[in-house]
Amino acid sequence: MALQRRPDSGFWERFLFILFVAASIIPIWLPHYLPLVDIPQHAAQVASFRELIAGNPFLAENLTVNWFTPYLTGYLLLYVLSSILPVVIALKVLVSLAVAGVPMATGLLLRSLGADVRLRWLAIPASYSFAVYWGFLSYIVAVPLAILLIALTVRFERSPSLRFGLAVSAFAAFLFFSHVVAFGFASAVSVAYLLAMNIRRPRRFLVLTTPFFIVLPVVLVWLFRLLQSESAVQASGIEWGSLSERMTVLFAQVAGMDGKGYLLSVLLLGCVALLPYLSGCRISRRPERWAPLLVGVTIFVAFPSVALNTYFLHHRLAVFLVPLWLVIWDPPRKAKVFPLVIASFAIGSWIAFNVSRFNEFSRLSNSFENVMESAEPGKKMAGLLVCNSVTVFANPVFLHFVAWYQAEKKGLADMSFATTHPSLVRYRDMDKARVRDHALWYPLEFDWKAHGGETYDYYLVCAPDDLLKQIFGDHFDALNVKAVDRPWWLFARKERNSGDSQ
């Protein structure tokens, strides 16, 4: 394929792009604890994995390692980083690299297809994806890798060889162990590109898709084991979600938002939709430029919301539609400056908005930090968080904050991802009474007996004073207040204080 001539982006455009990408990750470094919902659980997973490797007898009695998981890459990268950095800092490094990797990988994809590489600017806000705000660590890490797999496929199609094919296959396998959904999406889009390029050469198309089929047996073995061994997966159904739900997710995703900042979201959506045209780009007529977007949109619309006991599935895919949208535009004959000025203003406003609210979250989470200082390490803690959200974020950002105890103090904290099938570290006794999903989302329905109240040394509660007795019922008098910085409370069982802890 003859690539169209790209206008030279120039030194200053490249310099400003890198500057804005670097500025986009500043919010991640403002609070001590990130306001990304699931992130504490992933920190707890890796911290416990480290302790199991080190031979911690308390955790080894309760936990075991699940090596065959498609979440492995993110966890192992965090494990390596946390070997030289505190886990909180290691998380910020990994999330920062993954977030910055999205516009960088988008630029490589645009360049490989002969598109206008300057459009990568419009992928900067999209790097704060639905998965980022919900703290899906493995998926966050997998997104730039998935975009790179598509770019690698483009280059493989142009210069196929056995060695190159094995490299594509190895990278695809690496992506599967990063996240199976990202792997599946990137593979489908890559195959669509190969088909569009070889529609009149079916034999060549089949040969070029071989690297993806080589990985398929690994995927099928994992899926078979999952369906055979996980009762929760066997009992789970499929929910598709509505089209309006998908459009809402896409609206927020394009703008790099979580549902807040409506007017700013409209501005950013307008930039992504219109600036390619205003820059002088024109929609390509080549099918290989359209096929990835058409297949990506089709998967996004058709993919379920819930399946295999995993939630928020199609929501995660929206992040890929921005790079695929930018791919369909042919570069202009002459570069224009004013669209870049508009993009700079919009993206700068978005960065300032995130800096403001991440900084506000830092202030709001101080009470949590103060209370957790009083918890001794190596114990069991249950989290019952009625007030699990803040006004500056749309998601329940405090939902899993109890897991920071497990991440930083070598104990156990419930609700725990050790009860879920893709996790690296899992409970040995999956049926034991403990705080699970229901009490996590509905802490006022906590049941002392059903949720194993007597097995915990500590109870982390975030609630107004008048709800405390409602949470614990008749067992409230069996607790001592270990620390309080309203609305956060740390309770300890009185038996623990007398030396009769479990």
Residue pLDDT, tens place only, 80-102: 999 999 999 999 999 999 999 99
Question: How far apart are the C-alpha atoms of 95 and 100, rounded to whole Å?
Answer: 8
- Mean pLDDT calculated for residue range 294-315: 95
- Predicted pLDDT at 33: 97
- Predicted pLDDT at 336: 78
User: Which string of b and e fits 254-271 if b means at least 16 CB within 10 Å?
Assistant: bbbbbebbeebbebbbeb
What percent of the chain has a predicted confidence (pLDDT) above 70?
A: 97
The reported pTM is: 0.94
For residue 415, the cross-strand partners are none
Question: How far apart are the C-alpha atoms of 457 and 354, rounded to whole Å?
Answer: 37
- Mean pLDDT calculated for residue range 336-360: 93
Neighbouring residues of 18: CB distance < 8 A, sequence distance ≥ 6? none
Cβ 377 vs Cβ 347: under 8 Å:
no
What would the two tokens of residue 164 be? Answer: 């190159």
What H or E segment, with its residue span, contains residue 142?
A: helix 137-158
The tens digit of pLDDT for each residue in 173-193 reads 999 999 999 999 999 999 999
Question: How far apart are the C-alpha atoms of 322 and 127, rounded to whole Å?
Answer: 10
Cβ 475 vs Cβ 448: under 8 Å:
yes
Neighbouring residues of 395: CB distance < 8 A, sequence distance ≥ 6? 37, 133, 134, 258, 259, 389
- pLDDT band with cut points at 50, 70 and 90 for residue 495: low
Give the start-end residues of each E strand in 118-171. none
**pLDDT greater than 80 at residue 496:** no
What H or E segment, with its residue span, contains residue 460?
A: strand 458-462
For residue 458, the cross-strand partners are 381, 492
Cβ 449 vs Cβ 372: under 8 Å:
no
**Helices (DSSP H) in 410-493: which residue ranges?**
437-441, 468-472
- Predicted pLDDT at 338: 75
- Predicted pLDDT at 297: 97
Local structure of 153: helix, strand or coil = helix
The tens digit of pLDDT for each residue in 222-280 reads 999 888 888 788 888 899 999 999 999 999 999 999 999 999 999 999 999 999 999 99
- Predicted pLDDT at 498: 43
Cβ 47 vs Cβ 406: under 8 Å:
yes
- pLDDT band with cut points at 50, 70 and 90 for residue 9: low
